[in-house]
Structure 1
Amino acid sequence: MREIRKYVTMALAGVMILSFAGCSMIERTPESIQKTVLAKVGNKKITRADVDLALKPYLEQYKKQYGEDFENKEELKEPLKNMRKQQLEGLVDQEVLLQNKEALDVNPSDEEIQAQVDDRIKYFKDSTGSDDKYEEFVKSYGYDVDSFEKFLKTQAVVSMVVDKIVEGVEVTDEDVENNYNENKSTYTTKAGADVTHLLFAPAKDAKGNVVEGADAAAKTKADAARAKAVSGISLKDLSTSAEFKDSAKYEELGRVSFVDSGMVKEFEDAFKVLPANQVSEVVKTQFGYHIIVNTKVYPNDEVKPLDDTLKGTIKSQLLQQKQQDTYKDKIQELKDNMKVKLYEDKL
């Protein structure tokens, strides 16, 4: 069901991004509030009811969590307002697309639209598992079966218009290569090592202070463990041994860079000069006493080659960005050429 909600949420506002935000309420009836016009696109009015219908699952969640009076809770007003604002912008964009579909040469037949709708309904029914659960799912979004099908028809046309706008947008091999060269650091893994260590931390009291004698005890344990590690016992085995299981903590840190490792200075200074599989001296840091072993050392920076897999990844990312930019420019151009007005002060 979660995946279905994600699918429908994306359809509800083609290019909108949902986030939580607030609602400034005045003393009006719920009915009059729902009739409030929040935007005009040409002669089409978008009301608070339109926005709240699109946000129904989210508003219902607020109601379950905070109660029927959630709209008046001070901490929710700003989040609700922002959420409605972003949904409103999505509905405005949708209406702009619909009113310009002929100008963009999008004139689908009823059969073409119905084919897409049937496909989406099948997806929802397959995902919910039965007709009854499908109807229950539809109702959770504030629709009945017929009105939901009408909604899906609108979304099908919107999708066709968006496809038309980004039609012809492409990414060349040169674009991919330029992006790779300009961002080579992104595809570079710095010199470093696969680091493991065993930590002996001194015991502390309830206030976080080191217990008297605990530092020396931790150092003694670390020295004894190092001697056994040098003899060939792995740090991991030492951490589970009867002698050290109650005093040692073993960690595999994975690949850590020699530069800007994020480790405290004493630890970084020790591991970055340590040959592979050699046991370090006992290293003291603010956390306690460490024994370090680099299971593998990478002495040089490694640049990922521009192979077919990476080319495909970069191409996909660039295409998505180009399509988003093209869409954004076109939707703004369409808005500039028609009457679009948002009344955000009424949210």
Structure 2
Amino acid sequence: MRSPAADVRKAQRLARKDRRAERGRAASTILPPEGVPLNLPVASIGVRLAAQIADVLITTVAAVCLVILFSALELTRPQTIMAIAMLLFFVIRVPYYILSELAWNGQTLGKRFLKIKVVAHNGGSLSTHALVLRNLMKEAEIFLPGTLLLTLDQESPVASWIALAWVAMAFAIPLMNPYRQRLGDILAGTHVIHLPQPILLKDLAGEAKPMTAAKPGAKGFAFLAHQLDHYGAFELQTLETLLRAQDKFMSPDVHARNRRTVATIVEKIRQKIGFADPIPPARAVEFLRSFYNAQRAHLEQRQLFGDKRADKHHAADETPQ
């Protein structure tokens, strides 16, 4: 059996590796109305640019389809088709960004593909004013200077240099901002984050735990039915939280306090259920895992027969039929 010091050193190495992986990545703390702070990674410039390109392609395809339709219906002439195409791109683009972010709570189709979204910088709900402002500013920050760059003319170098400087400034502002906010985000009080990835925790009952190698011939723990009748679902969930905490990183001081806590809980459970054999400190966690598995199976079996036990007071709540 490995010593606690070896487990602590391994946990410290894993924690340092995680910190190196997270280094350089900005984080955002969101405080929702429930009052529970959420730490979410801020979307990088590359991811936001990819989402922007996807949205531009979507709106461009829509504009091209309308231009083809107008040409087929002979509603335009070859001399005006480019001007109509630019006008349609603008008319489609502006409502697309605003309405999609209003309908999908801060997401366009491009943002949904890249799993990012707009959030309020103060942790509150997104307002219509903020979404309209940030998307109208996008016209002045990105599309208008971009159009000027595409129409550069050697005969007007001043306008070309102004457009180039404006585009450089628009890209420099998010790079210098820890929340990667562009000018529209700063004015609207928003920034863009990565959506949190849901993680399904492992089923403790399905995890196979090896027997303690330091005790050759040691037997597992077995519990009788009457020993499992003392607790309910609430106590089972509390025990599950404690067992999951055993796999997390702990400093030496926290690890020592945790061992004392586990020993106290084991002793209380042993006395409550009438478990006669003493539990060695080295097998305290193993005892709790075995008791968790047996208690969970017992409660699930009782629930099949309509006996749902909420907590340890279930016996006092039962009324004679």
TM category, shorter: under 0.3
Pick the structure with more helix per residue: 2
TM-score by structure 2 length? Answer: 0.21
What TM-score does the superposition give when structure 1 sets the normalisation length? 0.20
